[in-house]
Amino acid sequence: MLPHKMHAKQPGFTLIELLFAITLLAVLAGIGLPNMQEFVRNSRMSASANDIISDFNFARSEAVKRRVPITLCKSQDGAACDADDTDPFNRWIIFVDDEDPAVAAATDGNGEIDGAEVILRDRQLPESITVVTDADEIRAIYLPTGFPFIETENVNRFVLCDVRGNVTSAGGDSAARAIEVLPTGRPSVFRTEATVTAFGGCP
């Protein structure tokens, strides 16, 4: 006769309990994963818009502080401005647009890197973010006054989009972002679908 302990019920899950747990996990994953993906996309979009806003403000403040022109421009290699309007805006640089920084009275402000001009910042957008603009060239030249040098090819409005396009996202705002650089040189970001559409919309 087997000892009493050999007849004790072994702990564990039955097949039905295991199937129920797997089904419950699948349902929870189906609900949670899309929300997590939406959260990640919103975070990436907000971070990209904040990077652009902060760098425009940085260029403006540096122009006032250094009392020389500071330029923010689209760049493909991080070493020179890119004037080709067919290239995407996924990277930009900020540089001291002063032909000879060693001479206090020297000014340049031509929007191109030449001479001994110093690059202050090199930033790149995530590959999932697309920038839409009708400007011929994405460039902003800030004068020592803090005001931008107005040129027809300089960008003052553009839209940031991802795969969602201009659709309603969390909070009732657009998944895209619209950015405008005001005549004073101060950038602003907008999240309404109407403003995104007015600024060019998403592909």
Residue 13 reports pLDDT greater than 50: yes
Strand partners, 91: 124
DSSP state of 174: B
Report the distance separating Cα 160 and Cα 30, nearest Å.
Answer: 28
In the chain the domains, ranked by start, together with CATH numbers, are 17-198 (3.55.40.10)
Q: How confident is the model at residue 103 (pLDDT cuts 50, 70, 90)?
A: low
The pTM for the full model equals 0.77
List CB contacts of 148: < 8 A, sequence separation 6 or more: 60, 140, 141, 142, 154, 181, 183, 185
Give the three-state DSSP class for 164.
coil
143-202 tens-digit pLDDT? 999 888 866 455 678 899 999 999 988 778 899 999 998 888 889 999 999 999 999 899
- Which residues, including other chains, have CB under 8 Å from residue 64's CB and lie 6 or more apart? 144, 145, 146
3-state secondary structure of 161: strand
